[in-house]
């Protein structure tokens, strides 16, 4: 058996032992003036992943009466990097919504799908915009993407028309075996023309109760669809990737009116919220400065503390996406919470 011998110079060990002392000395000797420049790595990060992007609608192709595909090109010619399956976040006034990208990484444009019948202020706004309109977006971001270190080489994606965009992006760009199960009760399959060349099963309803153990599962669609598929498959924790395509809203909760008090730094806001709208929807309706990205409890940007009152926290397949510490110390995701009493929140 051979032995691995690692030798180090004495000077290296001495530098390591004196590392903290030398740092403190240099800090104390430095001039007490602010740093005016930026580190190179931060300049590069801002260039590759800017906080906001100015995009121009270069094309708006209609797939059906209620569905369009918008092509978005960067106003400055520079497009941010992204992974297949990620989303950009687009604003319209106080309202914002995530839009999964149909395009593949490496293309010189973003493509998104918008639906005129979506329960979403931003989608309806985008649907009516003409070519040449300018919009502001952030991202791309999101955790719904394929990772060879985490996922199997064979992937089964179960989706609806509302959730098919990130699946198409993966199909265009990723090097793995992908089978798409496209569910549409109306059987219109409006994205069918974009699926030529891919392995697709078209069905009016997902009915399988078994997925082979050597496959990873990606589920994408409205919240009730994801809940139904996840429950039916009974997948062990961590095996499925879930993307909820539409913000959590429900018609089954009472429309009682409650008082919502929000403490934001040194300001206090008071307004009404309703039991059948998310707390975040109430924030947006009243122009409360709350950041939001995914609107499905995944990203944590809208996270805030519940000081008083009671909320109903929505789960997917019985999974509460909050961290254990958030549950213990009463932090909630307003995008996945419905008021059940008067509430007071701290942003």
Residue 291: how many CB atoms within 10 A of its CB? 13
**CA distance linking residue 345 with residue 347, whole number of Å:** 7
Task: Note whether residue 148 is domain-resident.
Answer: no
Q: Which two tokens stand for residue 137?
A: 């977006």
- pLDDT above 90 covers a percentage of the chain that reads 44
Which pLDDT value is given to residue 318?
59
- For residues 220 and 263, membership in a common domain is answered with no
Going by the DSSP 8-state scheme, the letter that residue 267 receives in this structure is: E
Report yes or no: 215 and 155 within 8 Å, Cβ to Cβ: yes
- For residues 136 and 57, membership in a common domain is answered with yes
The overall average pLDDT reported for the chain is 87
- For residues 229 and 280, membership in a common domain is answered with no
Show which of 214, 244, 274 is a domain's final residue.
Answer: 244
Task: Note whether residue 17 is domain-resident.
Answer: no
**CA distance linking residue 77 with residue 248, whole number of Å:** 35
**CA distance linking residue 5 with residue 7, whole number of Å:** 6
Task: Note whether residue 26 is domain-resident.
Answer: no
Q: Is the pLDDT of residue 4 over 70?
A: no
Digit-coded pLDDT (tens) for 221-250: 988 888 888 888 877 666 788 888 866 555
Task: Note whether residue 95 is domain-resident.
Answer: yes
Which pLDDT value is given to residue 143?
86
> Strands 304-308 and 343-346: what pairing?
antiparallel
CATH number at residue 121: 2.40.30.10
- For residues 105 and 137, membership in a common domain is answered with yes
Task: Note whether residue 212 is domain-resident.
Answer: yes
Contacts of 127 (CB under 8 A, 6+ apart): 68, 114, 115, 116
Quick one: which of 179, 163, 172 has its CA closest to 220?
163
300 is in which domain, residue-wise?
257-346
Task: Note whether residue 205 is domain-resident.
Answer: yes
Which pLDDT value is given to residue 213?
82
- For residues 134 and 166, membership in a common domain is answered with no
Task: Note whether residue 234 is domain-resident.
Answer: yes
Please, which pLDDT band fits residue 189 given cuts at 50, 70 and 90?
A: very high
Q: Which ranges of the chain does DSSP label H, i.e. alpha helix?
A: 10-17, 19-29, 40-48, 121-127, 165-173, 223-233, 279-285, 324-328
Arithmetic mean of pLDDT, 254-260? 88
Terminal alpha carbon distance of the chain = 61
Helix axes of 19-29 and 10-17: crossing angle, nearest 10 degrees: 60
Report yes or no: 226 and 158 within 8 Å, Cβ to Cβ: no
CATH number at residue 314: 3.10.20.30
Show which of 205, 221, 244 is a domain's final residue.
Answer: 244
Task: Note whether residue 6 is domain-resident.
Answer: no
Q: Is the pLDDT of residue 116 over 90?
A: no
What is the SS3 assignment for 340? coil
Digit-coded pLDDT (tens) for 162-177: 999 999 999 998 888 9
| Number of domains within the chain | 3
- For residues 273 and 234, membership in a common domain is answered with no
- pLDDT above 70 covers a percentage of the chain that reads 93
CATH number at residue 184: 3.40.50.80
Digit-coded pLDDT (tens) for 9-62: 777 888 888 899 999 998 888 888 877 788 889 888 887 788 889 999 999 999
């Amino acid at each position: 058996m051979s032995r691995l011998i690692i030798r180090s110079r004495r000077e290296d060990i001495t530098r390591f032992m004196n590392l903290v002392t030398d740092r403190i000395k240099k800090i104390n000797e430095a001039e007490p003036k602010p740093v005016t420049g930026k580190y190179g790595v931060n300049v590069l990060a801002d260039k590759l992943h800017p906080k906001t992007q100015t995009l121009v609608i270069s094309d708006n192709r209609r797939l059906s009466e209620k569905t369009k595909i918008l092509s978005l090109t960067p106003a400055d010619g520079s497009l941010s990097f992204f992974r297949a399956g990620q989303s950009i976040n687009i604003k319209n006034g106080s309202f914002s919504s995530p839009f999964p990208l149909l395009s593949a990484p490496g293309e010189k444009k973003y493509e998104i799908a918008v639906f005129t019948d979506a329960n979403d202020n931003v989608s309806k706004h985008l649907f009516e915009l003409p070519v040449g309109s300018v919009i502001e977006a952030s991202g791309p971001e999101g955790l719904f993407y394929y990772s060879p270190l985490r996922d199997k080489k064979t992937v089964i994606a179960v989706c609806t028309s509302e959730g098919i965009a990130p699946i198409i992006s993966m199909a265009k760009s990723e090097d793995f075996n992908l089978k798409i199960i496209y569910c549409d009760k109306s059987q219109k399959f409006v994205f069918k023309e974009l699926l030529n060349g891919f392995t697709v099963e078209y069905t009016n309803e997902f009915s399988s109760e078994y997925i082979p153990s050597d496959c990873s599962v990606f589920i994408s669609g409205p919240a009730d669809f994801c809940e139904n598929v996840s429950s039916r498959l009974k997948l062990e924790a961590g095996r499925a990737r879930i993307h909820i395509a539409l913000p959590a809203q429900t018609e089954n909760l009472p429309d009682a009116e409650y008082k919502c008090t929000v403490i934001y730094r040194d300001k206090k806001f008071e307004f009404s919220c309703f039991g059948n709208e998310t707390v975040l929807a109430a924030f947006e309706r009243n122009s409360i400065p709350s950041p939001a990205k995914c609107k499905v409890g995944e990203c944590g940007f809208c996270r805030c503390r519940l000081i008083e009152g009671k909320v109903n926290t929505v789960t997917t397949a019985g999974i509460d996406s909050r961290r254990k510490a958030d549950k213990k110390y009463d932090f909630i995701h307003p995008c996945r919470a419905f008021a059940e009493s008067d509430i007071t929140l701290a942003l």
